[in-house]
Chains A and B, each alone.
Chain A
Amino acid sequence: MATTSQPPIRLTSHKNFVYRLVFSTLTGRTVHISQIRPSSPTNPGLAPHEISFLRLLESVTNGSQMEISYTGTILVYKPGLITGSSAGAGSSSGGVVRHEIPAGCNRGVSYFLLPLCLLAPFSKAPIKVLFTGPGVITSSTPTGDMSVDSVRTAILPLFNQFGIFNNIELRVLKRSNPGPNGRGGGGEVQFVFGHQVRLPKTLHLMNAGKIKRIRGVAYSVGVSASNNARMIDVARGVLNPLVPDTYIFSDVSSAPLVPANDRNNPSAKKKIGLGFGLSLVAESSTGCLFSADVASPPSGGQPPEDIGKQCAYQLLETISKGGCVPSAAFPIMIGLMTMGSEDVGRLQVGRDVVGDESAIQLARDLVKFGAPGWGLRDASFGEEKTGDIVVSVVGRGIGNVGRKVA
């Protein structure tokens, strides 16, 4: 392949792991990531969720190779073509890739979903993945992942602005909060991304507009539904005076069962992932989305009122940062803009969003992958400055290699 002639891109540390691999796959450059948690005495090297993500990458691509060193602190990833889940190759019946997440995983399923969303438009065939296994956490987690509901209601609609909107589905078959110690869960999520494009449209998103509505989902898994009502009550108490069009839907489900691994009784099952949480999404008049997510901690001991209030305030904080895009959606937007046609796209974001550590890490990584740097300037509304920053991104025009017509 063409990529073999180029030297691998050398990166260090475990930070921004998933997006590095995604950009490697999209650009077709080999990456060499070293010093992955080298100083951790107990768990050096790649964590279970990172290994699981590598497996997921392997199943949606064809011909990717990865080598992991003995200690797991060095990874070489040679990407293949993004084939999606065509029937036969790595997928079970009906062309659905079945991805099992191990029990030790402490990240939410959105950890896998967000990078997969970024890969999916550039796939050759539609991507259909079923996340199952004893490690699927659909709620938000203490490790900072958003809930599945927020992915569906706040991230997936963003693709519409790039001209990607058909046949996108994210179905929560079973809900689960994080299990004991924040590890494991028994959820089940089906993800379908059926709109593949050659190149995403160039984006000019400069007007954040005003917040016109707030929607949300309150979920409780294996606990009383009154928790939902209490969360909703408090959250609405905070938000209703600000935005009258506030509705929060309630979703109650029983706790998922996972195999208990009991030697005496091999068929034994245990309940896992009890808890509740709230996901809020604010939509502006120009279609910008801001989300907030809070779930009950795995150790418990927090009343639903606190969760509701915390989530409402978190949403307000996210909105107060300004710009058109919250930091949660920033990598996806920038990623799509970078992969877009060779044209300058503009995106207005809050100063805190672009000054965030992860955003800067993303910028540095993108430069390593050969993307031109971002242009930054102060945003102004008419004469006065708004305090936001306009990020100009030149697309690389790579787009979908699999869709390239000869």
Chain B
Amino acid sequence: MIGKRKRDTSVVSKSKKDKKDQAREESPTATESSAQDIFRKFFEAQFEPLEAQKNGATQDESDYGSSRDSEGLEDSGSESEWSGLDGEEEDDDENRPVEVVDYTAPSIKADALMDKRARKAFMSAKPPSSATELTSTTDHAKKGADEDDDKDTETMNLKNDLALQRLLKESHLLDSASDLAPTGKNRHKALDLRMQELGAKKSLYHQKNMPSSMRKGIKAKATSKEDKRRREARENGIILEKPAPKTNISSGRRERGVGGPSIGKFAGGTLNLSQRDIAQVQSARRGRGKGRGRGRGRGRGGR
């Protein structure tokens, strides 16, 4: 090893003597050795450092810098192998390539491809909202891949969904039946339910005319049933849904015929105006709404 080193230093010293000539001669060997060096480093990076190989390659450490070279030169003349070894160890520590992180050259290549949707979303006339940008690329890419699969499963899902919905809605009809598909009378009832769901006004089985006492009885029974259910639930501490709000049919304005008076009541050839009607007419003329609004504004503004 030392011998090698000495030979090497002598070479370097030669090169110092007449650089021009030497440079030409040295260059092939230098490149060769540097190539070796690269291989060695690559190997060392993967596996363990090579002792035997190192001997051959140590001189090439000089490639790292001329300063090291000159040091080696000075050492070689007078000092023993110790210093050489020392130098080598230092080499191992110091010649590990310094990691340089260059922040001034970010990789813009990646986002040159940045999706146009994000650009469109941001550069449009609307103020960008934070929510829109989140769902950009991922679902887009997926769509292309398993679009066909999706279609099949989608239709199947829809079918099953419909069947399940129907079953849930019409399950009360199936109490008596043995089959899941309603038959006979139950089928008619199910059809009736579906029609109502699609917007039919009344059930087919709605009885239009019946004695008033009977209708009253039906209603009374229904309310008493509901009352009983609620009372029992309350006693047992069960919370039920809130009772549906009662719809007052008479409260809304009835659809009037065409051509009738827009105000008051026409009866017996005379138009009868109530007190309210008169007040309404008068207020409309004076622009009551506006006046009040301004009045309130003044009150606030003065505060």
Residues of A within 8 A of B (CB): 2-3, 6, 27-29, 152-153, 156-157, 160, 165, 168-172, 190, 213, 215, 217, 232-234, 236-238, 240-241, 247, 249, 251, 283, 287, 370, 397-398, 401, 404-406
A-B contact pairs, 27 of them (CB 8 A): A2-B294, A2-B298, A2-B301, A6-B301, A6-B302, A28-B297, A28-B301, A153-B127, A157-B127, A157-B129, A169-B125, A170-B127, A171-B125, A190-B125, A213-B133, A232-B108, A233-B106, A237-B106, A240-B106, A241-B103, A247-B111, A249-B122, A251-B123, A404-B297, A406-B289, A406-B290, A406-B292
Q: Which residue of A lies closest to B303 (CB)?
A: A370
- Do residues B104 and A234 form an inter-chain contact, with CB atoms below 8 A? yes
- Do residues B126 and A168 form an inter-chain contact, with CB atoms below 8 A? yes
Q: Can you add 18 more A-B contacts, CB < 8 Å, to A251-B123, A406-B292?
A: A2-B302, A3-B301, A152-B127, A153-B122, A157-B128, A165-B129, A171-B125, A232-B108, A233-B106, A233-B108, A234-B104, A236-B106, A237-B106, A240-B103, A247-B118, A249-B122, A397-B300, A401-B297
Interface residues as binary, B271-300 with A (CB distance below 8 Å gives 1, 0 otherwise) = 000000000000000001111111011101
Interface residues as binary, B109-130 with A (CB distance below 8 Å gives 1, 0 otherwise) = 0010010001100110111111
Q: Which residues of A contact B130 (CB under 8 A)?
A: 157, 283, 287
Say yes or no: is B105 at the interface (Cβ < 8 Å to chain A): yes
Q: Which residue of A lies closest to B290 (CB)?
A: A406
A397 to B126, CA, bound (A): 29
Interface residues as binary, B186-222 with A (CB distance below 8 Å gives 1, 0 otherwise) = 0000000000000000000000000000000000000
Q: Which residue of A lies closest to B126 (CB)?
A: A169
Q: Which residues of B contact A169 (CB under 8 A)?
A: 125-126
How would you classify the secondary structure of chain A's contact residues: helix, strand, loop or mixed? mixed
- Do residues B129 and A160 form an inter-chain contact, with CB atoms below 8 A? yes
A35 to B103, CA, bound (A): 52
Q: Which residue of B lies closest to A397 (CB)?
A: B300
Q: Which residues of A contact B298 (CB under 8 A)?
A: 2
A172 to B125, CA, bound (A): 7
User: In the assembled complex, how far is the CB of residue A341 from the closest CB belonging to chain B, in whole angstroms?
Assistant: 12
A156 to B104, CA, bound (A): 33
Chain B residues numbered 114-152 whose CB sits less than 8 Å from any CB in chain A: 114, 118-119, 122-123, 125-130, 133
Q: Which residues of A contact B108 (CB under 8 A)?
A: 232-233, 236
B296 is contacted by which of A215, A370, A404 (Cβ under 8 Å)?
A404
Q: Which residues of A contact B303 (CB under 8 A)?
A: 370
User: In the assembled complex, how far is the CB of residue B284 from the closest CB belonging to chain A, in whole angstroms?
Assistant: 13
Q: Which residue of A lies closest to B118 (CB)?
A: A247
Q: Given A2-B301, A234-B104, A405-B293, A217–B129 Cβ distance below 8 Å?
A: no
- Do residues A398 and B300 form an inter-chain contact, with CB atoms below 8 A? yes
Q: Which residues of A contact B114 (CB under 8 A)?
A: 247
B127 is contacted by which of A156, A234, A398 (Cβ under 8 Å)?
A156
Q: Which residue of B lies closest to A305 (CB)?
A: B104
User: In the assembled complex, how far is the CB of residue A363 from the closest CB belonging to chain B, in whole angstroms?
Assistant: 20
- Do residues A237 and B103 form an inter-chain contact, with CB atoms below 8 A? yes
Q: Which residues of B contact A249 (CB under 8 A)?
A: 119, 122-123
User: In the assembled complex, how far is the CB of residue A396 from the closest CB belonging to chain B, in whole angstroms?
Assistant: 8
Q: Given A170-B125, A215-B128, A404–B301 Cβ distance below 8 Å?
A: no
User: In the assembled complex, how far is the CB of residue A312 from the closest CB belonging to chain B, in whole angstroms?
Assistant: 12
Q: Which residues of B contact A172 (CB under 8 A)?
A: 125
